[in-house]
Amino acid sequence: MPWQIAPSSHRLIREMTDRTDHVLRTFPPRPLNPDERELVAAWLAGTCDVASAYVSERRSDDPAIYHRVVITVGPERTPSFLIHAPTGLSCWLVSKVRGAPEVRRFDSLRAALNSVRPVFPADGMQ
């Protein structure tokens, strides 16, 4: 199975800017459903340079990543991107947490994942 468990994310919190941290706290995530989890696994299988990607589900996980897709790209062990669907909203937020912070909104998980690394055909295309 392509899932990898990443180390503790305590450094992630220190690296987040106030703006990114505010967005993550303002729009709490909902849990992913089984179909969404399968889509994340299929996306990860199609990438070649993503070090790890997993869905944070343990109650003991850092609240900054809980119920989010945590993606690490490159040699650093800290997360690069967080993806989640805010509770009560029908969109997906992709938060870049390394370098200059950036939060982008997408209509589907497929589009959100493709914004990190394009693997799937564009929404609506086969």
**Quick one: pLDDT at residue 20?**
57
Residue 74 contacts residue 57 (beta carbons within 8 Å): no
**Quick one: pLDDT at residue 4?**
39
User: Full-prediction pTM beyond 0.85?
Assistant: no
Alpha carbon of residue 9 to chain centroid: 13
Whether 70 shows a pLDDT value over 90: the answer reads yes
Average pLDDT of the chain is 83
Mean pLDDT in residue range 7-25? 54
Least confident window among 10-14, 15-19, 64-68: 10-14
Question: Hey, which bits of the chain come out as E strands?
Answer: 50-55, 69-73, 81-84, 92-96, 102-106
